[in-house]
Structure 1
């Protein structure tokens, strides 16, 4: 949710804060999923203020999932969507305290309005990327490794 003193660039791809241009959050993320990612972003920022420098990676992952870092959300490529899927899965697992997330949840974050077309790529990414990211993918849901 944007603050009232934030202006959008004419193309909607950027916000202007105190005269500085920043990439806007992907507007195609469904509100409930967006809220989960933003809560995790804010939690990570609070952790940094409390002295946890390892939380910087969480901030980066949350901003990547939101489309604010990494590949621009309006220029989708398979590599960019895969990186965003990993970030989104990581942040949703944190938001849900390790509870299950679905391929559809992640696909809706990375795929925008055409999220159903992103499902095969997201499934492949979650299946092959789990070794590096401490999760288990059962073909439908993703859970944090015990």
Structure 2
């Protein structure tokens, strides 16, 4: 899989002309891989809940998607506005919450 285009400052990726916040590059690869795994599982669970018309399960799965996205630095306070300690706390908290 090829890497998506990035803005010159590295803060965003560009997909089909649209900018999306990039994952925090300070997250160790093993932790980032675990967070992406949680994110993908939660997204699959959103789809399953929607097919089953289970609003409670969908709400719970969407909350896990949000937790993973925040932990990856793709939502919430921009990672470039946080110091290293805050960034580590953010992704570690997400791993703890999702595990």
Give the TM-score normalised by structure 1: 0.54
Pick closer, same or farther for the CA change 1:23–1:36 going to 2, 3 Å: same
CA RMSD across the alignment: 2.1
- The one of 4, 7, 18 equivalent to 1:6 is 4
Gap regions ≥5 residues in structure 1: 95-146
1:86 is aligned to 93
1:6 Cα deviation from its structure 2 partner: 1.8
Q: Secondary structure at the match of 1:68?
A: coil
1:46 is aligned to 44
- The one of 5, 8, 20 equivalent to 1:22 is 20
Q: Secondary structure at the match of 1:37?
A: helix
- The one of 23, 31, 34 equivalent to 2:32 is 34
1:40 Cα deviation from its structure 2 partner: 0.2
Pick closer, same or farther for the CA change 1:18–1:39 going to 2, 3 Å: same
Comparing both chains, which one has the higher relative contact order based on Cα–Cα distances under 8 Å and sequence gaps of 6 or more? 2
CA-to-partner distance for each residue in 1:76-129, whole Å, 9 max, x for gaps? 16xx659825334212xx2xxxxxxxxxxxxxxxxxxxxxxxxxxxxxxxxxxx
Q: Secondary structure at the match of 1:64?
A: helix
Larger Rg: 1
More helix by share: 2
Q: Secondary structure at the match of 1:50?
A: helix
Pick closer, same or farther for the CA change 1:87–1:5 going to 2, 3 Å: closer
